[in-house]
Amino acid sequence: MAAAGSAVGLGNIWKFPYEVGKGGGAAFLFMYLAFCFILCFPVLVAEISIGRKTQKNAIGAFRALGFPKWSIIGRMGVASGVLILSFYNIVAGWAFGYFVEMIMGNFAISDQFGDFIGLKGINAIKVVGYSLIFMVSTTVIVSKGISGGIERAARTLMPMLVLIIVTLILYSLTLPNAMKGIEFYLVPDFTKINFEVVYTALSHAFFSLSLGMGALITYGSYVSKTDNILSSAAYITLADIGIAFIAGLMIFPFVFSQNIDPQAGAGLVFVTLPKVFATLGPLWGPAIGGLFFLLLSFAALTSTVSLLEVPVSYVVDEHKISRKKAVWLTSGFIFLVGIPSLLSQGASETFTSFISYGASDKAKDFLTLVEDVAINTILPLGGVLITIFTAYVWKTKNLTEEISFGNPNYEGSMVMKFLNFALTIICPIILSGLFVLIMLSKFVGIELF
Ligand code: TRP
């Protein structure tokens, strides 16, 4: 439940729809689904198994298996945890801020999204305050230990989130042009696929499943020997894909009925939804709108705790300081790392047009740079290294032995054959090939297609 809570977050409801929008609709969706099942599911199983086998965090785990050099995967994971959380916390702050604006009936925020994230006027205090509240909440939860509360929260809040999304889907279908949105989302136009769509779908699959940085090694260390790793992994994947899928189904009819450009980017959800809530009237608008963004904030919170857990367990292990101190120091540090990203959405010219690299001459903002390093580089690289480690260093026979606890019929099964084949052949080859191409395309500007 906690790992599903980690997987389901802003990635599903904020990032996924706008990536689909930018990536040309259904073509991106299908690419993403294929990557989740074929390339990510094996990595997910491997991470959880390594965690449960060693009962250690992302760095300690590799040492405990006797391969200390491979703890580089965990170290990269710590770096990407810091980087991802530094901007994730800001977007979570926007979501939480929207909860407040919705219950106050301020639907006009939709048209002021640029001012909101650009920290214009009073927004500066608001947005900084919201992300501070968010970071403090994450810190308090992580300092109390992640198991109990997060599981309970995920168990009740996720079904509520699904319910509200499904209700909104039904409403969206009554609007003019809704079917255009459905068509954009579900009928693939494969001519829209270019290399950028392919790698964005791949990195997004890793990001959305919380993979490639050892977060699930850490979570795996809390899994008991009698639990079935495969069914947990299947549950996590289906919950994640399912919620992303329905989030898309909800957004695109709204986007098309409001004549918004699906390529609008990071503002898509934040611009589209308040306009929808505004049409629900003075009672239901604030109620449903407020509830939606509150649930989204909780979904983000079960993700931020998993992001913070990775660097914290590293600090606790390596520096022998108390968990409480480590948690506050780490989250304070991450908040500081996030400041340039916070200023990069229009508030500071320097950070908004920060650096240009790759094919386009247009300067990218600081937050995009952080995403490119953490999500588009470290996560897929971590994924490749985890598959290579599992297949060629730790060996699939040890993986099989670990999965067999809690799943006595696993050995010799079709699933085992698929996983072993994927981890030994498919994932290392495809992931490392794609990784090299991603680097060439992102940072050097060479595109294959
Ligand atoms: N999966 C989360 C989301 O979709 C984000 C997240 C949480 C994450 N923990 C992670 C991403 C670990 C990568 C690694 O919103």
Low-confidence winner among 146-160, 313-327, 378-392 (lowest mean pLDDT): 146-160
Reported for 429-437, long-range contacts at CB under 8 A and 24+ positions apart, including other chains, are: 430/39, 431/39, 431/380, 431/383, 431/384, 431/387, 432/384, 434/198, 434/199, 434/202, 434/380, 435/380, 435/381, 435/384, 437/195, 437/199
Report the distance separating Cα 283 and Cα 291, nearest Å: 12
Pocket of ligand 1 (CB under 6 A): 6-7, 9-12, 84, 207-208, 210, 213, 215, 303, 306-307
Task: Inform me whether the pLDDT recorded for 4 exceeds 70.
Answer: yes
Closest atom of ligand 1 to 306 CA is 9
Share of the chain above pLDDT 70, in %: 99
CA of 307 to the centre of ligand 1 (A): 7
Q: Which atom of ligand 1 has the smallest separation from the CA of 310?
A: 12
Q: What is the DSSP string of 157-223?
A: HHHHHHHHHHHHHHHHTTSTTHHHHHHHHHS--GGG--HHHHHHHHHHHHHHTT-SSSHHHHHHTTS
| pLDDT value, residue 408 | 96
Residue 145's pLDDT is 73
Q: What is the C-alpha to C-alpha distance for residues 315 and 323, in angstroms, rounded to an integer? A: 8
pLDDT exceeds 80 at position 192: yes
| Number of the ligand 1 atom closest to the C-alpha atom of 299 | 15
Q: Locate tokens 């906690």: which residue? A: 2
Q: What pLDDT is attached to residue 146?
A: 64
DSSP 3-state of 144: coil
Top mutation candidate among 161, 210, 308 for ligand 1, by most atoms within 8 Å of CB = 210
Q: Which atom of ligand 1 is nearest to the CA of 304?
A: 7
Q: Rounded mean pLDDT of the chain?
A: 95
**AA identity, residue 442:** K
Nearest CA to ligand 1 atom 7: 303
**pLDDT (average), residues 69-80:** 95
Ligand 1: which residue has its CA nearest to atom 14? 210
Distance 267 CA to ligand 1 centre (A): 19
* Alpha-carbon distances of 328 from 2, 88, 309, 315, 317, rounded to whole Å: 22, 18, 12, 11, 15
> Which residues have a Cβ under 8 Å from the Cβ of 276 and sit 6 or more positions away?
168, 171, 172, 254, 258
For helices 268-278 and 72-103, angle between their N-to-C axes, nearest 10 degrees:
20
Q: Based on the number of CB atoms within 10 Å of its own CB, is 378 exposed (0-12), middle (13-18) or buried (19 or more)? A: buried
What is the pLDDT averaged over residues 210-217?
A: 95
- The confidence band for 147, taking pLDDT boundaries of 50, 70 and 90, is low
Ligand 1 centre from 296 Cα, in Å? 14
What is the whole-number distance in angstroms between the Cα of residue 130 and the centre of ligand 1? 20
Q: By percentage, how much of the chain surpasses pLDDT 90? A: 88
Alpha carbon of 177 to ligand 1 centroid (Å): 33
- Evaluate if residue 330 carries a pLDDT over 70: yes
Q: How many angstroms does the Cα of residue 213 sit away from the middle of ligand 1?
A: 10
Task: Express each pLDDT in 226-271 by its tens digit.
Answer: 999 999 999 999 999 999 999 999 999 999 999 999 999 999 999 9
Cα-to-centroid distance, 284 and ligand 1 (Å)? 31
pLDDT at residue 80, as a whole number: 96
For the CA of 307, the nearest atom of ligand 1? 9
The preferred substitution site among 18, 87, 303 for testing ligand 1, maximizing ligand atoms within 8 Å of CB, is 303
Question: Is residue 271 within 8 Å of 76, Cβ to Cβ?
Answer: no
- Ligand 1 atom nearest 240 alpha carbon: 4
Hey, which residues does 321 pair with through a beta bridge? none
pLDDT for 153 equals 81
Average pLDDT over residues 388-409: 97
Nearest CA to ligand 1 atom 13: 210
For residue 82, what pLDDT is reported? 98
d(CA 141, CA 304): 10
The number of the ligand 1 atom at minimal distance from the alpha carbon of 216 is 12
Q: What is the pTM of this model?
A: 0.95
How high is the pLDDT of residue 320?
83
- Nearest residue by C-alpha to atom 11 in ligand 1: 210
> Does residue 154 have a pLDDT over 90?
no
Residues in the chain: 449
* Closest-CA residue to 346 (of 365, 362, 360, 361): 365
Take atom 8 of ligand 1 and give the residue whose Cα is closest.
210
Q: Rounded to the nearest whole angstrom, what is the distance from the C-alpha of residue 136 to the centroid of ligand 1?
A: 18
What is the position in ligand 1's atom list of the atom closest to the CA of 7? 1
Q: Whose CA is nearest to atom 12 of ligand 1?
A: 210
* Comparison of pLDDT for 156 and 40, the residue scoring more: 40
